[in-house]
Structure formats: C-alpha cells, structure tokens
Amino acid sequence: MLQTGGCYRCLRTLEDKEQFVNDYIQWYFTYRNHVSFQRFKDGLATLNLFNALEQHPSLFLPYLVYSAEDLKAETLEALAWLLDVLMFATGLKEIPAAKLTPQPQLTFQKHSRFPEANVCSNTLKLPILPSYEKFEEAMSYGIRNSPGFEKKRCPYYLHI
C-alpha cells in the first residue's frame, strides 16, 4: 500500500519520517479518494448547488456536518417536503444511486398559478407570483394535491 501511494522510500532521519507520514496521509485521504470527491462535487453541481455551497457555506452547514442535536419534527417535515417535490418533478420516490437522467431543469412561467412538471424530461416549472406567501401557498397546494405516480393509480409505475 505504501508503494501504491508513492510513499515507499528509505528513511534516514526523523525529518524523513515526518515527511513520509505527511505524504502517506495526504495520499490516503486526498488522492486515493479523488474520484469519489469529484463525483460528489459533480452531483452537487446539478442545479448549481455546488456554487451555492461555495458562496454560502454557513447556510448548508447543518445539512452537511453531523450535529449531536436531537432530530426535530420540523426537520422531518422539511425532508418529507423535499421528497414530495422530487416525486412531483421526476416521478421518483427516491434519488437514484447513479444520477438523474435526463438532468433536472428548472423553468419559470407566468401563465399558471400552480407548479407544473414534466417527468419525462425532469422539468419543474415554477409560477411567478407577486409575493413569496402566494408562491409558497401555490407550491404547497399544487405539489401536495398532485396525483403523482402511486401504484394504485398508475399501472406503469416503476420503483427504482
């Protein structure tokens, strides 16, 4: 494993040992996992989430870093809401392990008060409304009252 990490060499001094340990740690935690980190970044780049994370890291901290804080009902409700949005926009009950194909798109529309979705192209069309309160109400009503792809209603439902 040391040779794979490019750290296999003769150690003659204490400084050589320290350099060896630093090189090995850098290889083990950074270079060895580079492909995994890149795939994670590419996944976050979907819908520009990676850019938002870079610009506002403190807003995403509670979602990306473990906290010993107790799980609250509001947190579970927010998660359930995100799953409802996923189901509405893509027809999927959970995010696929590989990636969403085609890549999700977000568009805006003026002609409708409620959100619309095209699950074949993974497109979510959001209404442009005069206030955030009206937008929030229309989104909640539209998504929670959509029929979705429940097994009882649609014989073509595939659980992925």
Q: Which positions are annotated as active-site residues?
A: 120
CA distance 122 to 82: 15
Instruction: Supply the DSSP symbol for 102.
Output: S
Count the alpha carbons within 13 Å of 138 in the hemisphere toward its beta carbon. Answer: 16
Count the alpha carbons within 13 Å of 141 in the hemisphere toward its beta carbon. Answer: 9
CA distance 126 to 135: 9
Which regions of 110-155 does DSSP assign to beta strands (E)? Answer: 116-118, 123-127
